[in-house]
């Protein structure tokens, strides 16, 4: 497995729009089309495609939000989706471990949809 992340450009748009959640997971994440619309409406969001070598396997977004999280803001990694055809192949664990590799840990906090939040404490 050789994961890499690519910024979603017009050239990659159709690839990411083809991604789907597995049956029964629809309520856990917004459709990619909605995520891309939100990224267009709010330039703080940066959508990325997740690839294993040349094959697209997923989607995520990240963004830096200052006004909502004073005084220092918060970098949010969000909307992690592994395509239905790629699930149960280790991609979920590999992408979640990415958060941990960067120093993020579960905080016990939940977001507005009830999902667990991971945070990274930074020295000031």
Instruction: Kindly list the catalytic residues.
Output: 99
Q: Is 86 helix (H, G, I), strand (E, B) or coil?
A: helix
Closest CA to 7 of 51, 53, 47: 47
* Residue 114 backbone phi and psi in degrees, to 5: 85, 5
Neighbouring residues of 110: CB distance < 8 A, sequence distance ≥ 6: 116, 117
């Amino acid at each position: 497995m050789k994961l890499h992340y690519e910024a979603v450009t017009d050239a990659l748009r159709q690839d990411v729009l083809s991604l789907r959640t597995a049956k029964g997971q629809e309520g856990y994440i917004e459709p990619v089309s909605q995520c891309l619309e939100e990224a267009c409406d709010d330039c703080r969001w940066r959508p990325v495609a997740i690839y294993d070598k040349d094959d697209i396997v997923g989607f995520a977004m990240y963004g830096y939000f200052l006004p909502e999280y004073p005084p220092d803001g918060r970098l949010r990694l969000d909307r992690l989706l592994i395509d239905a055809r790629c699930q149960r192949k280790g991609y979920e664990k590999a992408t979640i471990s990415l958060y941990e590799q960067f120093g993020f840990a579960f905080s016990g906090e939940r977001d507005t949809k009830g999902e667990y939040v991971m945070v990274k404490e930074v020295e000031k």
